[in-house]
Chain A
Amino acid sequence: MSPVLSRIHVFIDDDAVTIWSWARVRHALNWHSEEAYRDVLSGHKVVCDAAGHPVDLDGALEDGVRLHLEDPERLHLDGTGSPHAREPRYPHPKDPQ
């Protein structure tokens, strides 16, 4: 195994998070705030990218990405697949550990 030395910087609600390059969205969120992570898992909040689209907690991160938390009721979930529709969040079956 080769060591992984690199860390990346991401932003959640403008809070800078420095984390391992292999980390996923859920890891950065949990580092930002365990309470926020629980809010997302319970469906009270949604992680969105800078375009306002929900992102999957298991997705890979990119250096410099800006994510923010949003209330789910603010997302447009008409299910029509309209390119103008806001997409749903993608929760994960994981519970807080």
Chain B
Amino acid sequence: MTRRFPLRPARDVRLPWGPPARARRYLPSIAALGLAVTIGCPGSNRAGSASGPPESACATILSTNDTHGRLLAATYGFSGERLVGGSAVLGGYLHDARTESSECPAFLVSAGDAMQGTLISNLTDGVSTIAVMNELGYDALAIGNHEFDWGVDVLRDRIEQSAFPFLGANIYERGTDEHPDWTQPYAILERGGVRVGVVGLTTRSTPTTTMPANVAELEFRSIADALDRYIPEVRAQGADFVVVVMHAGAFCDSAGVCHGEAMDELNATRERFDYAVTGHTHSRVETTIHGAPVVQSFANSTAFGIGRLRRDAEGNVEGELIEIRQTYADKIESDADITALVEQYRETAAAQMERVVATLAVPLDKPSRQGEFALGRVIADAQRDATGTQIAVMNNGGIRRSLPAGPVTYNDLFELQPFGNTLVVLDLPGELLIETLEHALDDEGPDAHLSGMTVMYDPAASRGRRVREARLASGDQIQPDRSYSVTANDFMATGGSGYRALMGATSATMTGIVDLEALVRYLEARPQPIQPPVMDRWQPIGR
């Protein structure tokens, strides 16, 4: 039996954080309100009737992707002192784009990965981002892989908070033909007498690009199959246009030929769509498939897409990507209301940064780049604790400051581990583990910290021959022909700081756990004040 997802029921938007939702400045979508009203500029000549084919219609499609919680404008290397992006700046640009397209009602969609990525968003589990997106007037969002980073329960809360639907037409409850009850495959948006059906989809790589446990009960199936299933349903409900919004990406070459998951899936789709918005690769995509424009607008709110759909009296649909517009702050008047809203969350985040996470009984110094120190042992222990592997290896280059005795704040820990690295679980042959240890000993003193093992080494021996003995915490000696579970951050696991032996692992599972969060959780759970481990894990012989 085919499930139908017509107009979204009305609901109250309650914000667990921040100010109450104010009246939206922009025209609300019918999907958000559940009201069959015709508002705004005329985009169709059928005078608001939802029945019968229109003689002509037009719509403007505004799109962002991978905004990653960038609520604040930022300067970039390319821009010098010029600020780019941020929600208030984006709001100003969207206001202008809507004004420019007054003859064709504008619909604003996101291709996902909206929340994860900045402290102002992450410290509220995305509440700040959704509050701002509500104010910006988003009409629909395709769920991205990083929407799952904080678990389904948090995602469900954010969906409840949002004034727009989170779409996932290819997300199924594992082993069933049912979608989770917190998402829907599509939405029918209506504005100015124009009906736009938006089908949302999610990259099939999601189980490997977020915390796997968070999506263990879900399946991310073929995007093309989902489109072929739902586009006829959307058209049957009187949509003038069908817009595909997917968190799946592509790269293009100078000839405009693009490839990647988004292209593969759209090419494989048999049903006709009129416009497609992509994401995930943070790239510029500007092409067509089956005659329909396909767009991606970089990332981080530094650009957005403007497209136009027209339907003539004979029912012929023509789509056009008008522009991928950059969001330089000095070329627009920022949205004052959104500026004020973001500022409230910025102040909230600042207060969160001063939160005391733990109390240290002694200072934890980082005396130098090389060598072993208690702070490094604590970090490595936290990472192994978070993943449950036999061993953790942490590069010294990722440890950026010392910690004083006494209270330690979230901000202190952020400065200690500012890179946002995520933890990876490797199945590593013992031979490569020993090679990794040898690399750590290439220079004066070890260049990494260990958890779950001890190493005896000869600093006087030649490079590559310094490890004399390596044992697990259990006392078992590391065997070259056995495999071990090892935690490393994604920087190391992809060969960073010369740890190329880790790329020889037989498998590498992205856990989605950010190193900073692993440390915060570990310190919070320890008896206070915290006494760090004192036993050296790198033990030089002959000294």
Contacts and interface: CB of A to CB of B under 8 A. Distances in A.
Interface of A: 1-5, 18-25, 27-28, 30-31, 34, 43, 46, 49-56, 58-62, 64-66, 72, 75, 77, 79-83, 85, 87-91, 93-97
B323 A83 contact: yes
A65 B254 CA distance: 13
B510 A60 contact: no
Nearest to B207: A2
B427 A3 contact: yes
Contacts of A75: 78
Contacts of B425: 1
A54 to B, nearest CB: 8
Contacts of B493: 20
Contacts of B207: 2
Interface stretch (B123-131, B148-156, B208-216, B432-440): B208-216
Contact of B496 (A3, A21, A30): A30
B298 to A, nearest CB: 6
B339 interface: no
B78 A62 contact: no
A50 B76 contact: no
B209 A90 contact: no
A56 B298 contact: yes
B251 interface: yes
A1 B511 contact: yes
Most buried by B among A18, A53, A64, A91: A53
A56 to B, nearest CB: 3
Main DSSP-derived SS at the B contact region:
mixed
A59 B282 contact: yes
Interface residues of B, number: 67
A49 B497 CA distance: 25
A1 B509 contact: yes
Q: Which of A18, A27, A77, A90 has the most CB of B within 10 A?
A: A90
A22 to B, nearest CB: 5
12 contacts: A5-B506, A49-B284, A51-B253, A55-B283, A59-B282, A60-B203, A79-B331, A81-B326, A87-B298, A89-B77, A94-B418, A97-B397
B255 to A, nearest CB: 8
A61 to B, nearest CB: 7
Contacts of A85: 326
A24 B328 CA distance: 26
Interface in B293-340: 298-300, 302-303, 323-326, 328, 331
Interface string B476-511: 000000000000001101111110100100111111
A30 B395 CA distance: 15
Interface of B: 66, 68, 76-79, 82, 84, 117, 203, 205, 207-209, 212-213, 249-254, 256, 259-261, 280-284, 286, 298-300, 302-303, 323-326, 328, 331, 395, 397-398, 418-420, 425, 427, 490-491, 493-498, 500, 503, 506-511
Contacts of A94: 418-420
A23 B281 contact: no
Contact of A62 (B77, B117, B260): B260
Given A27-B490, A53-B283, A81-B326, A89 B78 contact: yes
Contacts of B395: 97
Contact of B495 (A30, A50, A51, A93): A30
A58 B78 contact: no
Contact of B328 (A20, A25, A79): A79
B252 to A, nearest CB: 5
B253 A49 contact: yes
A56 B282 contact: yes
Contact of B209 (A60, A65, A83): A60
A66 B212 contact: no
B324 A81 contact: yes
Contacts of B506: 5
A64 B251 CA distance: 10
A50 B418 CA distance: 31
A75 B496 CA distance: 28
B494 A27 contact: yes
A90 B299 contact: yes
Contacts of A58: 68, 117, 282, 299
* Cβ-closest 10 pairs across A and B: A59-B282, A56-B282, A43-B77, A50-B253, A88-B78, A3-B507, A27-B494, A62-B260, A97-B397, A81-B325
Contact of A90 (B205, B302, B397, B508): B302
B509 A72 contact: no
Contact of B323 (A1, A81, A95): A81
A93 B261 CA distance: 28
A59 B491 contact: no
A49 B84 contact: no
A90 to B, nearest CB: 6
Contacts of A59: 66, 249, 280-283, 299
B324 A51 contact: no
Given A1-B213, A60-B282, A87 B251 contact: no
Given A5-B507, A22-B205, A81-B326, A88 B495 contact: no
